[in-house]
């Protein structure tokens, strides 16, 4: 199982493969895949999907392969739960482009997936409950992260809408590195203004929720 980020810009939906060596246009999610992502993203412009070729705990839908069009021509799939209006060979079908080869190495017979519920930066800023807030002189919520000061050390953790698995925590730990560095510096200034003494051996982000 792996986690992939999909995002929508002025040109439509794309899969985020930072190591992909070719033009971004090859990563476009079109021909029904964009419609499915609109459903999964629930009006947002970004969604993270946990994806695998075998059933896993928590998976919410599956794509069944209907036809393989050729090694570099993609394949036709049908979702089982989230029905779409797009029609190829028949209704409720979408096309996955050859970028699928960079994800799996082939066109799987079945692809299982589920959206990962994280608190996005936009939600964090707009939500009245989870918005950027100073909770105390040792804790703030900002951009979908909690920033805590405990025992002289800083703890920064991504906020999840549901308890994440260890694999998900580790994946976001790698993704969040730059953002955590930025938040750490901001939080250090906040703490200094409140007279807090920070230890040199800072304990930073380790993925997921920490107590």
| pLDDT tens digit sequence for 94-136 | 999 888 988 888 999 999 998 888 776 766 766 555 557 787 8
Which range has the top average pLDDT, 65-69, 127-131, 159-163, 174-178?
65-69
Q: Is the pTM of this model over 0.85?
A: no
Q: According to the model, what pLDDT value does residue 131 have?
A: 59
Q: Give the pLDDT mean for 129-154.
A: 80
CA–CA–CA angle 145, 147, 151 (5° rounding): 150
| pLDDT at position 127 | 58
Spatial distance between the Cα atoms of 115 and 59, rounded to a whole number of angstroms: 8
Mapped onto helix, strand or coil, the DSSP state of residue 154 is strand
Q: Which two tokens stand for residue 74?
A: 């993609």
Q: Point out which residues pair with 61 in neighbouring strands.
A: 113
CA 32 to chain centre: 20
Over residues 64-101, the pLDDT tens digits come to 999 988 888 899 999 888 888 888 888 889 999 888 98
Q: How far apart are CA 22 and CA 53, in angstroms?
A: 25
For residues 123 and 70, the answer to whether their CB atoms sit within 8 Å is no
Q: What is the pLDDT of residue 36?
A: 93
Quickly state the pLDDT bin for 210 (edges 50, 70, 90): very low
Decide if pLDDT at 167 tops 60. Answer: yes
């Amino acid at each position: 199982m792996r986690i992939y980020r999909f995002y929508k810009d002025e040109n439509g939906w794309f899969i985020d493969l930072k190591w992909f060596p070719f033009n971004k246009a090859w990563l476009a999610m079109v021909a029904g895949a964009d419609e499915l992502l609109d459903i999964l993203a629930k009006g947002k412009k970004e969604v993270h999907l946990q994806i695998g070729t075998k059933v896993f705990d928590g998976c919410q839908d599956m794509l069944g392969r209907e036809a393989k069009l050729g090694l570099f021509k993609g394949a036709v799939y049908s979702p089982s739960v989230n029905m779409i209006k797009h029609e190829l060979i028949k209704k409720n079908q979408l096309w996955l482009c050859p970028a699928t080869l960079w994800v799996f190495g082939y066109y799987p017979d079945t692809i299982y997936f589920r959206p990962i519920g994280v608190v996005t930066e936009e939600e964090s800023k707009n939500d009245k409950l989870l918005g950027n807030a100073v909770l105390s002189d040792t804790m703030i919520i900002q951009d979908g992260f909690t920033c805590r000061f405990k025992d002289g050390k800083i703890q920064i953790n991504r906020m999840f809408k549901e308890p994440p698995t260890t694999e998900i925590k580790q994946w976001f730990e790698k993704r969040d590195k730059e953002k955590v560095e930025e938040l750490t510096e901001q939080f250090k200034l906040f703490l200094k203004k409140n007279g807090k003494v920070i230890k040199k051996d800072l304990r930073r982000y380790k993925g997921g929720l920490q107590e």
